[in-house]
């Protein structure tokens, strides 16, 4: 008979322990929710939203807010997609009413699990790309294109070693000796060599005139880069040959409307796994060179691409 009270006592203890664990778990999740929500609210408070695109950003259920995606269970924010849905509304000279503008709050850095950030085709001018973006090390996708950013692109973006997609293409704002360019520029491109996970790189109309021939050696260090878009970047002279060719994953190269003035870069034939065989030039699907002053004969290239889907333009 004495065993029953003992068993009851043990069950009561186990009940209180399990209840405390559940409560602590709920408290932890509740703290996460409050922290994530506050970071988003602070971010929104710095934005100007003339067309009320962020009208849904109210209440506690931030996981249902427009443009926000969260991880199931934890409710951590993993994606913010605020791309302007009508980026070309201003083709007749009227500023798009869908543009977000204002200040990008440092609170975004508190979203520790954020992997996807798209702010493209908004109007954050005239401010530079925020330095703190370089501390958001879980980012896989970062699209800051056509946002009106000006000034030096921060080199600490090189800290984003998990990044697979990077686009900071700009609208050109003036004409220089090498073509059209913008108020967004890079002085030293070496930091890009740390982006070892990068597959897609777009920097159209970003002023790269100060990087010299360094750009090709840096890109040559990106082992899985598949797309390169450097249109209108004020690059000039010859297209330099890298010391060794590691760009075997490249499927698209677009370097149109620069100031290249030289013979055609024959080394591009070796962007393949077997450099000696022109027939293996099939890794490269598209090569865009229009708007440069390149000289030379292309029969080898044309013949080498007959057996695959490569296109040169």
Lowest-confidence segment of 52-61, 113-122, 246-255 by average pLDDT = 246-255
Q: Determine the pLDDT at residue 24.
A: 46
Mean pLDDT of 3-30: 55
- Range with the lowest mean pLDDT among 33-42, 49-58, 195-204, 262-271? 262-271
- The model scores a pTM over 0.75: yes
Averaged pLDDT, 9-26: 53
**pLDDT score at 303:** 57
- Is pLDDT above 80 for 200? yes
pLDDT at 16 over 70: no
| Residue 127, pLDDT above cutoff 50 | yes
CA-atom Rg of the chain in angstroms: 26
> Considering only CA atoms, which of 289, 290, 288, 284 is closest in space to residue 305?
284
C-alpha distances (whole Å) from 208 to each of 28, 84, 93, 211 are: 47, 26, 28, 6
266: pLDDT strictly greater than 90: no
Angle value at C-alpha 136, between 224 and 207, nearest 5 degrees: 65
pLDDT band at residue 199 under the 50/70/90 scheme: very high
Average pLDDT over residues 191-214: 95
> What are the pLDDT digits (tens) for 134-180?
999 999 999 999 999 999 999 999 999 999 999 999 986 655 555 55
Cα 270 to Cα 253: distance, rounded to the nearest angstrom: 14
Q: What is the pLDDT of residue 183?
A: 86
Confidence of residue 243 (pLDDT cuts 50, 70, 90): confident
- Among 8-12, 30-34, 131-135, 247-251, where is mean pLDDT lowest? 8-12
pLDDT of 92 = 43
Q: Quote the mean pLDDT of the chain.
A: 83
Q: How confident is the model at residue 281 (pLDDT cuts 50, 70, 90)?
A: very low
Residue 258: which pLDDT band, with cuts at 50, 70 and 90? very high
State both tokens at 240: 């330099």
List the single range of 127-131, 162-166, 241-245 with lowest mean pLDDT: 241-245
Considering only 26-35, 212-221, 286-295, which range has the smallest mean pLDDT? 26-35
Q: What is the pLDDT of residue 246?
A: 79
**pLDDT tens figures, 219-239:** 999 999 999 999 999 999 998
The 10s digit of each residue's pLDDT in 66-94 is 999 999 888 999 999 999 988 765 544 44
d(CA 63, CA 54): 13
The sign of the CA dihedral 107, 109, 111, 115 is positive
Quickly list DSSP for 250-263: --EEE--SSEEEEE
Give residue 89's pLDDT: 59
Q: How far apart are alpha carbons 114 and 200 in whole angstroms? A: 19
How far is the C-alpha of 233 from the C-alpha of 260, rounded, in Å? 11
Please tell me the distance from the alpha carbon of residue 17 to that of residue 172, in angstroms, as a whole number. Answer: 64
Cis bond before residue 123 (omega within 30° of 0): no
The answer to which of 4-8, 120-124, 191-195 has the lowest mean pLDDT is: 4-8
């Amino acid at each position: 008979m004495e065993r029953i009270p003992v068993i009851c006592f043990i069950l009561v203890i186990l009940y209180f322990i399990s209840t405390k664990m559940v409560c602590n778990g709920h408290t932890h999740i509740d703290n996460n929710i409050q922290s994530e929500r506050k970071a988003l609210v602070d971010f929104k408070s710095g934005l100007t939203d003339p067309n009320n695109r962020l009208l849904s950003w109210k209440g506690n259920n931030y996981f249902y807010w427009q443009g926000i995606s969260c991880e199931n269970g934890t409710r951590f924010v993993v994606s913010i997609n605020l791309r302007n849905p009508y980026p070309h509304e201003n083709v007749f000279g009227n500023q798009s009413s869908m543009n977000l503008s204002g200040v990008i709050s440092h609170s975004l850095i508190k979203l520790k699990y954020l992997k996807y950030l798209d702010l493209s085709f908004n109007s954050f001018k005239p401010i530079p790309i925020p330095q703190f973006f370089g501390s958001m090390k879980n980012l896989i996708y970062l699209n800051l294109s056509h946002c009106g950013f000006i000034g030096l692109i921060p080199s600490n973006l090189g800290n984003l070693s998990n990044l697979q997609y990077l686009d900071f293409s700009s609208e050109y704002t003036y004409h220089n000796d090498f073509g059209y360019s913008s108020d967004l520029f890079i002085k030293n491109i070496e930091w890009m060599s740390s982006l070892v996970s990068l597959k897609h790189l777009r920097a159209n109309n970003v002023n790269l005139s100060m990087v010299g021939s360094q750009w090709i050696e840096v890109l040559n260090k990106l082992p899985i880069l598949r797309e390169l878009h450097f249109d209108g970047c004020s690059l000039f002279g010859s297209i330099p040959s890298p010391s060794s060719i590691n760009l075997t994953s490249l499927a698209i190269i677009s370097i149109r409307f620069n100031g290249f003035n030289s013979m055609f870069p024959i080394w591009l034939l070796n962007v393949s796994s077997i450099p000696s065989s022109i027939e293996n030039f099939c890794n490269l699907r598209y090569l865009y060179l229009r708007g440069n002053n390149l000289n030379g004969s292309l029969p080898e290239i044309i013949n080498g691409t007959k057996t695959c889907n490569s296109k040169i333009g």
